[in-house]
Structure 1
Amino acid sequence: KEAVRGRERLGPGGGRALLGAVLLCVWWRAAAERVRYTIAEELGRGSLVGPLARDLGLSADELPARKLRLSEEKQYFTVNEENGNLYVNERLDREEMCGESATCSVSFEVLVHNPLNVFNVEVAIEDVNDNSPTFSKSVLDLDIDESIPPGSRFPLEIAHDADAGRNSLLIYQLTNDPSFTLAVTENPDGSKQPELVLERALDREKQNSFELVLMAVDGGDPARSGTVQVRINVTDANDNPPVFSKKVYEARVAENLPAGSLVLEVRATDADTGSNGRVSYAFGSIPESIRIFHLDADKGAVSLLRSLDFEEGTSYEMDVQAHDGGGLSDTAKVVVTVTDVNDNAPVLTVSSALSEISEDAPSGTVVALLHAQDQDSGANGEVRCSLDKDVPFRLEKSYEDYYRVVTARELDREQVSEYNVTVRAADGGSPALQSSALLCLRVLDVNDNAPVFAEERYSARVAENNAAGALVLTVRATDADWGQNARVRYRLGEGRVRGAPLSSYVSVQAETGALYALRSLDYEQVRELRLWVLAEDGGAPALSSNVSVEVQIVDENDNAPQVLYPAPAAALGSGSGGAWSGVELAPRWSEPGALVAKVVAVDADAGQNAWLSYELAKATEPGLFRVGLHSGEVRTARSPLARDAARQSLVVVVKDHGRPALSATATLSVVLAESVAELLAELSSAADEAAAPGEPAGSLTRWLVLAVAAVSCLFLAFLLLLLALRLRRWHRQQLLPPASGALRGVPVSHFVGIDGVRAFLQSYSHDVSLTADSRKSQLRFSKILNVRLLNLRRKCNTSS
């Protein structure tokens, strides 16, 4: 409407020029992030102020995402979210908003999101001539002494017009009267003071009163006016008016001065006496808005009716009139300047704030936008904002009184999952006043932590022959993240055991980390399992870690002892199954304790389950032989007697120390003979008994002759070898110091270790053993004992 009125006043060309100037101004302000509009007052609700979105450089397509809105809670204006235009939200009254100020404008901030930005908008309110000049009274009574000479002036009440500029008071007019004219003077503050001028001397006897009309006219188009009736009473002569000591009285008071306090005193004197010299004081015409002062009519003391407020007004000007009893008066001006006191704490407003932020948000991410303001002035109105020192945020000043809270470093939800950030605002007063605002911010989780196992490595012991599906152990890993990122699943690492996949031996439960054996384990095949278990979280991408798991297989007594010597009967062609047999020679002249034979056995188990003990279970002649409990050596318990049978059968039981114990048996055939010929005769007899009927005797004799020759050669070689061994032992004893202890002089080669058990072995007293076959008689010559023991040691090592 105002733009239309402007075009009507300026004409077509002037309207276009005005419109161009306004558009240029708006464009320049928008470029500087400050938009300015000018509208007339009294516009109704919904009136268009301007295309705010377009002036901010926003298109209609961007409006839904950018969320254009005003920052102030109580607004004179509103913005349309669909087209971005700025409209009047309520009727604007310039006089109510800005009082008597020459200029009137409303400033506010506009917030734009995504990205977050703030713009300053200023709307200038142009005055409309909607207020007429008014007088505080409808009738002005003046008492004028008849002795007052022509040319005397009488100040009249000043009319007040709430409008500004050219719409304010312009001229005064007085009805025509030959006795009085109107004169208008200009006060120091620029206001116009109407004065009644006496044109000719008064004569109370001719006319004792006058009634005039004073009219005040403003400069609006159309003009508005106000009138007051001036009633003049002519009194007796009073030729000395009151006179103020000053034309202007000034005082500076603090805004916290309590009600009733004295501000200043005015003083006027009158040279007359009596009632004409008695002076009384009164305020002139003052607006209702500044009637907060009281003037003592007798003393001229100006005091406060209520406390002042610097934020409401910084200075007050009032006219004080002094009247004497004769109707004469004088006028002076009182100027009260209000000084600011720090009585307003800063106001901290959170314009926009996040409630959640990801822990991987980069440094400098905007968390909140705050507005800090203080109604005080000067240092009392200077606001400084600060944050707690132990939070990963900092303050940045973005625009005038706006501050941004941004992240100062990367966040870690695992250390702090939620922040309560206190923003404090303090002014520059003494003492300073403070206010604060609380920002609550929750940190969202990011998968930045891999699962961590409870132990650096895991180990377990499982007895062999376990049931398939038996629980071995449970691994456990935790993830410092939250939700799906902290959900841990387990899987088995790749590997092979004895050529088979590791997954065929064990499996891991994905949810619990329980490790199960998929098959029955055999200590003799696999003594330990070394594997890796991987823990993987549910993040995207997933993070993982692994841990080493060692499963020790515990031996059980599931293997019976195995007899290595004497040789198995099956190897000799016998079908005896679990029995062991052999033929040994024992001279009849043997002394008690002479070594006859040695039963050598091993056990595939380990530890206690492989500790072996030997017992003589059965003998042809009880008491003749005994067996070493741990060595397996068969020795004579007494010297053989002539009545003892030549052939002795011994059954030796070998037991381990498992629970329950397992055992094996070995059968030894011992021939008691005085010489080799007797031994051969005994063997021949046994062979004859075992030979098949009808076999020729010449064949047997031929074999016996060959056997005797072979034994003789072997005996000679044995003697040579024994001599060489004796010389070697003597040479070694010369080089090495003699050993101490119970086993001094025993060669180291006589000890054989089988799974922690050391068996003491001793050389045989003879080197020849003979066995009889069920079908034919033959001689089998044993090897030298040292060679036999070496082979036995290798076989034991291979078995273990």
Structure 2
Amino acid sequence: MTASKQLLKAHHDKCGKFLVYNNGKKGQSEIVLRLKEGDETPVGSLIYKLKGFDPDGDTLSFGARHTVDSDILKIENSGNNEANIYLNKELDREIKDEYSIVLTLTDNRLGEGNYVTQSLLLLVEDINDNEPIFKPYQSALEVPENSRPGVLTTVEATDRDEGAYGQVVYYLQELEGDNDVFSIVTHHGKGTIRLVKNLDYETKSLYQLRVLAVDRANQGPVNTGTAAILVKVRDVEDTAPVFSAVNPVTRISEDAPIGSTILQIKAHDGDRGINNPIHYSILSGGSDLFGINEKTGVVYTKKLLDREDSRNQENGAYILEIQATEISKLKGNKLAANDEGTGRNHSYDTGA
């Protein structure tokens, strides 16, 4: 950094006072320095040069009046009428953005505490040295699978830098690549996360979102802050019961006693996250001869069987149509497997 030069001229007048001139013009003006913070202006940098003049040719001594700001500088006299100003402490605009210092000049004849003064204002300019930091946010969301597209939540990140360095724009990533289900919009410094597509618990029940807060730096490095949000899809009752693997054909002797167990039917709630109880019933195919336990799904005989009975549909076989119905906890909401035509027909050969 090229340091400017400030000429301070001092001489005795008839009243024994010092008159200070700035660049040859009478009157005291303020020196203003603008320095970049951090590594842009490292500690020890030469930031300014001072030069004084004394008509008597006395050796001049430069210094600074002791204030809370004065230790930011280090002044070293060089020669009889010059001094260098060095940066003595690291600059950080986010901690302090300006320093007001009073420089002093004396020929050591005025007596202790008497000197000519010159004000110096040091302004600290920002660099992009801070990452956006998210304010506390909701890190886990539970969203019903039948939710309509709309706003889910809002996040906000702040950046201590100023100007474009301190302005934030938001981006969204889904860790498994489903980037079209959710979106984010930057509005008034906040990121609004929206659901843009329909959810299906049975297809995917968990989404891991990464929110990126990126500053608007138009040159140099760009800083980014991240936030993680877990979206849990809550199952709703929208899927009929599903029959477990069952042998569709079974055999029983025609002389089997009443109450004999033929087989057990099993079905489970089609909504994996709910697991409502299942109610079993026989819709057709011999409900007068066969019964089913509505809770366990055990099929049994209600009467003695006769293979030659004319009611046999084909060669002593009965085709039973069994329905599994989900007993919902929601009032008036029932789902049956046969509504979907899912594995509801089972044939049972009563024996030849």
* TM-score between the two structures when normalised by the length of structure 2: 0.77
Structure 2 CA distance for aligned equivalents of residues 538 and 483 of structure 1: 15
Distance verdict in 2 for CA 1:153–1:493, change over 3 Å: farther
Structure 2 CA distance for aligned equivalents of residues 363 and 550 of structure 1: 45
Structure ranking higher on relative contact order (CA contacts 8 Å, 6+ apart): 2
1:310 to 76, 82, 93: 93
Match for residue 359 of structure 1?
A: 145
Residue 293 in 1 paired to residue 78 in 2?
A: no
1:529 to 300, 318, 323: 318
Distance verdict in 2 for CA 1:413–1:330, change over 3 Å: same
Q: How does 1:602-641 map to 2 (within 5 A)?
A: none
What is the CA distance between 1:455 and its match in structure 2? 5.5
Residue 283 in 1 paired to residue 64 in 2?
A: yes
Check whether the contact 1:250–1:334 (CA below 8 A) recurs between aligned residues. yes
1:424 to 212, 227, 238: 212
Check whether the contact 1:490–1:509 (CA below 8 A) recurs between aligned residues. yes
Match for residue 3 of structure 2?
A: none
Check whether the contact 2:64–2:70 (CA below 8 A) recurs between aligned residues. no
Match for residue 179 of structure 1?
A: none
Structure 1 CA distance for aligned equivalents of residues 276 and 135 of structure 2: 38
What is the CA distance between 1:290 and its match in structure 2? 6.0
Classify the secondary structure of the residue corresponding to 1:380. Answer: helix
Residue 443 in 1 paired to residue 233 in 2?
A: yes
What is the CA distance between 1:394 and its match in structure 2? 2.1
More helix by share: 1
**Matched letter for residue 56 of structure 2:** D
What is the CA distance between 1:278 and its match in structure 2? 0.7
**Matched letter for residue 149 of structure 1:** K
Distance verdict in 2 for CA 1:454–1:350, change over 3 Å: same
Partner deviation per Cα, 1:69-112 (whole Å, 9 max, x = no partner): xxxxxxxxxxxxxxxxxxxxxxxxxxxxxxxxxxxxxxxxxxxx
Classify the secondary structure of the residue corresponding to 2:257. Answer: coil
Residue 373 in 1 paired to residue 158 in 2?
A: yes
Distance verdict in 2 for CA 1:291–1:494, change over 3 Å: same
Check whether the contact 1:310–1:339 (CA below 8 A) recurs between aligned residues. yes
Residue 149 in 1 paired to residue 29 in 2?
A: no
Partner deviation per Cα, 1:608-647 (whole Å, 9 max, x = no partner): xxxxxxxxxxxxxxxxxxxxxxxxxxxxxxxxxxxxxxxx
Distance verdict in 2 for CA 1:350–1:422, change over 3 Å: farther
Q: How does 1:699-718 map to 2 (within 5 A)?
A: none
Distance verdict in 2 for CA 1:480–1:296, change over 3 Å: farther
1:543 to 329, 335, 346: 335
Residue 402 in 1 paired to residue 196 in 2?
A: no
Q: How does 1:244-393 map to 2 (within 5 A)?
A: 245=23, 247-256=29-38, 257-273=41-57, 277-284=58-65, 287-289=67-69, 291-298=71-78, 299-327=82-110, 330-351=116-137, 355-364=141-150, 366-389=151-174, 390=178, 392-393=181-182
Residue 491 in 1 paired to residue 270 in 2?
A: no
1:507 to 291, 297, 303: 291
Check whether the contact 1:468–1:518 (CA below 8 A) recurs between aligned residues. yes
Check whether the contact 2:75–2:85 (CA below 8 A) recurs between aligned residues. yes
**Matched letter for residue 230 of structure 2:** C
Structure 2 CA distance for aligned equivalents of residues 317 and 409 of structure 1: 58
Larger radius of gyration: 1
Distance verdict in 2 for CA 1:352–1:554, change over 3 Å: closer
Distance verdict in 2 for CA 1:537–1:405, change over 3 Å: same
Distance verdict in 2 for CA 1:254–1:551, change over 3 Å: same
Partner deviation per Cα, 1:675-732 (whole Å, 9 max, x = no partner): xxxxxxxxxxxxxxxxxxxxxxxxxxxxxxxxxxxxxxxxxxxxxxxxxxxxxxxxxx
**Matched letter for residue 83 of structure 2:** G
**Matched letter for residue 374 of structure 1:** D
Classify the secondary structure of the residue corresponding to 1:405. Answer: strand
Match for residue 554 of structure 1?
A: 351
Structure 2 CA distance for aligned equivalents of residues 343 and 357 of structure 1: 38
Count of residues in correspondence between the two structures: 312
What is the CA distance between 1:493 and its match in structure 2? 0.7
Structure 2 CA distance for aligned equivalents of residues 484 and 511 of structure 1: 18
Match for residue 49 of structure 1?
A: none
Match for residue 6 of structure 2?
A: none
Check whether the contact 2:268–2:275 (CA below 8 A) recurs between aligned residues. no
Structure 1 CA distance for aligned equivalents of residues 273 and 117 of structure 2: 83
Check whether the contact 1:357–1:441 (CA below 8 A) recurs between aligned residues. yes
Distance verdict in 2 for CA 1:456–1:408, change over 3 Å: farther
More strand by share: 2
Structure 2 CA distance for aligned equivalents of residues 450 and 397 of structure 1: 41
Structure 2 CA distance for aligned equivalents of residues 290 and 439 of structure 1: 48
Partner deviation per Cα, 1:294-322 (whole Å, 9 max, x = no partner): 22245522222221111233343433232
Match for residue 136 of structure 1?
A: none
Check whether the contact 1:243–1:330 (CA below 8 A) recurs between aligned residues. no
Structure 2 CA distance for aligned equivalents of residues 445 and 520 of structure 1: 45
Structure 2 CA distance for aligned equivalents of residues 319 and 245 of structure 1: 18
Check whether the contact 1:350–1:437 (CA below 8 A) recurs between aligned residues. no
Structure 2 CA distance for aligned equivalents of residues 362 and 320 of structure 1: 68
Partner deviation per Cα, 1:564-587 (whole Å, 9 max, x = no partner): xxxxxxxxxxxxxxxxxxxxxxxx
**Matched letter for residue 213 of structure 2:** A
Check whether the contact 1:244–1:266 (CA below 8 A) recurs between aligned residues. no
The unaligned stretches of length 5 or more in structure 1 are 1-143, 155-240, 496-501, 556-800
Structure 1 CA distance for aligned equivalents of residues 317 and 118 of structure 2: 114
Distance verdict in 2 for CA 1:484–1:335, change over 3 Å: closer
Structure 2 CA distance for aligned equivalents of residues 248 and 379 of structure 1: 30
What is the CA distance between 1:423 and its match in structure 2? 1.8
Structure 2 CA distance for aligned equivalents of residues 321 and 426 of structure 1: 46
Structure 2 CA distance for aligned equivalents of residues 456 and 449 of structure 1: 20
What is the CA distance between 1:374 and its match in structure 2? 0.5
Check whether the contact 2:131–2:223 (CA below 8 A) recurs between aligned residues. yes
Classify the secondary structure of the residue corresponding to 1:313. Answer: coil
